[in-house]
Structure formats: C-alpha cells, structure tokens
C-alpha cells in the first residue's frame, strides 16, 4: 500500500511541476534577469549531471581529471565535438596507463 501511495505522490509532484508554469505565467516574462537565468538552466543541469560522471568514469580520479582538463582545453581551441570526444577518450586511456 505504501508503494502505491508513494507512486501517487510522485505522480502528483511531477504533474504539478509541469503544469505550474502554464498556470502562473500567462504573460511573457519581461525581466531580463529571469529570462537570462532560465536560458542557462538546461546547460547548467547538463553540466551538473555529467561532471561527476566524467571524474568517476574510469575508476581513477587522476585519469578523470586529466580527461576533463584535456576536454576543456581542446573544446576551447577547436570546438569540434568529435575531436573533443576522441581527445578525452585518449586522455582517459593514457591517464589510466600512467596513473
């Protein structure tokens, strides 16, 4: 019985979160601060979810940090996703061998 109650509470919570913007935001948002804040929410959410995975994916923290640093530098210089993915994979493998 407790499982069904928990599922109902979860469903109501998720539904309320998805419906709340439609109920409370009938006009376009005029505040530049709030609009810019909402613009960056998906990027921050993705970064928060992937950052711990980058560090712990190899099982070696030093190899993960090396791959992260290589990924940041290569993405800053080249910006190509395929090149960044290849270089970070290579860095993680190399870091696993060295460390």
DSSP codes of every residue in 9-31: HHHHHHHHHHHHHHHH--SPP--
% of the chain beyond a pLDDT of 70: 100
Under the banding of pLDDT at 50, 70 and 90, the label for residue 22 is confident
**For residue 27, what pLDDT is reported?**
87
**For residue 60, what pLDDT is reported?**
93
Cα separations in angstroms, 15 against 10, 24, 41, 42:
9, 14, 20, 19
75 in Cβ contact with 84 (< 8 Å)? yes
Greater pLDDT, 61 or 21:
61
- Is the model's pLDDT at 67 over the cut of 90? yes
Other Cβ atoms closer than 10 A to 53 = 9
pTM above 0.85, yes or no: no
**For residue 12, what pLDDT is reported?**
96
**For residue 24, what pLDDT is reported?**
85
């Amino acid at each position: 019985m407790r499982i069904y109650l928990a599922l109902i509470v979860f469903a109501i919570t998720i539904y309320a979160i998805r419906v709340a913007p439609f109920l409370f935001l009938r006009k376009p948002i005029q505040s530049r601060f709030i609009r810019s804040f909402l613009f960056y929410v998906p990027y921050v959410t993705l970064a928060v979810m992937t950052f711990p995975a980058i560090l712990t994916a190899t099982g070696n923290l030093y190899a993960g940090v090396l791959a992260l640093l290589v990924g940041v530098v290569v993405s800053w210089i080249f910006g190509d996703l395929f090149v960044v993915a290849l270089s970070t994979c290579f860095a993680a493998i190399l870091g696993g061998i060295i460390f």
